[in-house]
Structure 1
Amino acid sequence: MIAQDVIDAPAAAPAQQQSGIIKKSAIPDDKEMLRAAVELTRDISAALPRIYWPDMLASAALGYAALAGAILIANPWLATLSGILAALALYRALLFIHELTHIHKDALPGFRFGWNLLVGIPLLTPSLMYEGVHTLHHARTRYGTVDDPEYLPLALMKPWSLPVFALTAILLPFALLLRSAVLVPLGAVIPPLRRLVWARFSALAINPEFRRRPPQGDFRRMVFWQELGCSAWAIALLASTLVLGWRPLLIALCVVSLTAFLNQVRTLVAHLWENDGDAMTVTAQYLDSVNVPPPAVLAPLWAPVGLRYHALHHLLPSMPYHSLGEAHRRLSEHLGLDTTYTKASYPGLMPLMSRLVGSTMRPR
């Protein structure tokens, strides 16, 4: 939730302008919006097990059933459709990793273990890859800076960087298989390799300068068991090719590649990526992030589990995904039109993509 000292602090200085463009890092906090976000949503801030469990379980079951169809169905068109359905369902199941980083550890008993067992380990993306990483992205003094593992100033980069950024995700499942089946087991007996793998290849980060610190305490024990599970599963997948051949595994990897590509496209439009590297106020972080509220009908497919309200999530990081729609409705109704709050709302994926591409083409 928003810290009270942020709401009560004096207003920031007026935003500085350079060449007529307001620097993101100079945008002051909108205290009325921050206060309303806290006060209007207290009664809907609890994570509800009756929503989380059925949603996650149904998404995973549908995803694996459709993946089996993609492997077993002889008709290529039906197999392809089944593969696309599998990618979408597994995408939704996988994105519960985002919720795990924010909900209180006691809010959903057994959910972290269940998700890792059913989704995280089978897809070689256990919660260790996000926990302790994503929260740095929400740190008030880190967002949009070189210390943010999930930020690149993509809008200020060259146009070719966007397709490269999106297409590299296709290789992620193959890299994860190599990591868990080869690098992690080797790291168990080669300490320098273990430290390298942890620092560079154990986080879902997009900032190439990010280096992860060694795990400590209870988290270290959790990392051990999750890594053990992933390595055992990855080795079993490779061993299965001796009996089943490579076709089933390659189809599964292609389906997960599509899932990774969808997530990378969503990441491209989750923010405006316009910060120049300076620390930002909470309001500036909000305005550099994106909401795609109704009536955008396809947003639940490409931004599931509440991620269509990504800007609102940056105002209320611990708000459960099933409450974000109601929170958005309340804030829109309370604050009205033509306010700071509405400036983070956009009509859909393609307008956001067009804006980002246009930003990369501006003369610097």
Structure 2
Amino acid sequence: MIRAQLELRIPNMTAYETITAAKKSAIPDDAAMLRAAVELTKDISAARAAIYWPDCFLSAALGYGALAGAVLLRETWLAVVCALVAALALYRALLFIHELTHIHRNALPGFRFAWNVAVGIPMLTPSFMYENVHTLHHARTRYGTAEDPEYLPLALMKPWSLPVFVAVAALAPVALLIRSAVLVPLGAVIPPLRRVVWERFSALSINPGFRRRPPEGEFGRMVFWQELGASTWAITLIASTQFIGWRPLLIALAVFSLTAVLNQLRTLVAHLWENDGEAMTVTAQYLDSVNVPPPGWLAPLWAPVGLRYHALHHLLPSLPYHALGEAHRRLSAHLGAGSTYAGAHYGGMMPLLAKIARSTMGRR
């Protein structure tokens, strides 16, 4: 009966909440949508180096240049403008870590190494903190369950959980600095500490119950060199305060805090967070996720590198970010405004924040 109800309503829905009051895990797969997603995007599935390299590293260069301006300029308003530009540009460069987890290892030779040197290690967020973690979030049987490192049923939690979720992100840069400068070096000589640091503080996850498994093989060797680079850089940053004072480091940490808060807000509206822990179909996962398609012009700033199409990304995880806009246009034209595909489209960050907040209000 539930399946019949869902199949009747899904083709005509315009928003996720119109499906039914049935459990989200009971939503059946829309075979037509899944088939169209694959068939209509075969010719745009290759990652293009001519887009990845300049987009990422010009963003990083702009970010570091603006950060230098925030540190060196004495005019307060100019320094603040530079800080905002730095936060947005470095945010875009940092989010290429998401692409690194999905593109084939041989697709962009040298890109992973260059990204870690230019972005991941300087921002104390090397790629291992997301690799072999984010893919668990896309696993068919893990999404939205207790084994998903990137899922919390935020819409089903208490109202205070949302501001706490965002506020914690402001402390992330300081926590990363302490991790790399203090905890990782200590862990090198104290095995129990090393195990705790790896299990609990070495992944970009939001699920406090997630415990990371020890790295092995080639990935373990990559982790070693990335950890060494991040620790060396973190210690150098702290040592530099003895020669140039604390001001440059504190400004940089403030800029990175703004970046982290922006990313946390994006994370907060990337899903509806309505699953109660049971395994979900691919269609249910899609409808628990969010697209913010054009014409909204702010979305590329707070959800860059294709993340405005986060629901579509859950349909096609390996599709490169630069192809998502075209994939969206093709699927929208093929499936129509009243389709399941349209059920994951929303108008912007503020309506989504309001929707999730309303969901929590009844749980005081």
Q: Shorter chain as normaliser: what TM range? A: over 0.9
Return the letter of the residue paired with 1:345: H
Give 1:116's aligned residue: 116
Give a deviation string over 1:225-277, Cα, whole Å, max 9, x none.
Answer: 00000000000000000000000000000000000000000000000000010
Deviation at 1:41, TM superposition (A): 0.2
Could you report, residue by residue, the CA deviation over 1:95-137 in whole angstroms, capped at 9, with x for unpaired residues? Answer: 0000000000000000000000000000000000000000000
Give the partner amino acid of 1:326: E
Distance 1:303 1:328 in 2: 16
For 1:52, the equivalent position in structure 2 comes to 52
What is the match of residue 151 of structure 1?
A: 151
What residue in structure 2 maps to residue 215 of structure 1?
215
CA drift of 1:22 comes to 2.0
What's the counterpart of residue 82 of structure 2?
82
Secondary structure at the residue paired with 1:109? coil
CA distance in 2, matches of 1:336, 1:264: 32
User: Are 1:187 and 2:183 counterparts?
Assistant: no
Ranges in structure 1 where 5+ consecutive residues have no aligned partner:
1-11
Aligned length: 351
Residues in 1 aligned to 2:270 and 2:77: alpha-carbon distance in whole angstroms:
32
Question: Percent identity, aligned pairs only?
Answer: 75
Q: Which runs of 4+ in 1 moved over 3 A?
A: 12-16
Instruction: Give the secondary-structure state (helix, strand or coil) at the position aligned to 1:233.
Output: helix
Aligned residues of 2:156 and 2:363 also touching (Cα < 8 A):
no
- Alpha-carbon distance in 2 for matches of 1:134, 1:240: 34
| Structure 1 residue 337: Cα displacement | 1.2
| Superposition deviation, residue 361 in structure 1 | 1.1
Does the 8 Å CA contact 1:14/1:28 hold for their aligned counterparts? Answer: no
Which structure is higher in RCO with an 8 Å CA cutoff and minimum separation 6? 2
Contact 1:63/1:87 (8 A) holds in 2: yes
Cα separation, 1, equivalents of 2:104 and 2:349: 31
Root mean square deviation of aligned Cα:
1.3
Contact 1:14-1:26 at 8 Å conserved across structures: no
C-alpha offsets along residues 301-358 of structure 1, whole Å, 9 cap, x if unaligned?
0000000000000000000000000000000000011110000000111111110101
**Distance of 2:257 and 2:351 partners within structure 1:** 25
Amino acid at match of 1:211: R
| Residue 7 (structure 1) aligns with | none
- Cα offsets for 1:3-35 (capped at 9, x unmatched): xxxxxxxxx94468xxx6121100000000000
Shift of 1:362: 2.5
- The yes-or-no answer on 1:252 pairing with 2:252 is yes
Cα distance in 2, alignment partners of residues 272 and 145 from structure 1: 14
Partner AA of 2:322 in structure 1: H
CA separation in 2, counterparts of 1:331 and 1:22? 26
Q: Equivalences for 1:1-364 in 2 at 5 Å?
A: 13-14=3-4, 21-362=21-362
Q: What does the per-residue CA deviation read over 1:186-205, in whole Å, with 9 as the maximum and x for residues that have no partner?
A: 00000000000000000000
Contact 1:15 1:22 in 2 (8 A): no
The runs of 5 or more residues in structure 2 that have no matched partner are 7-19
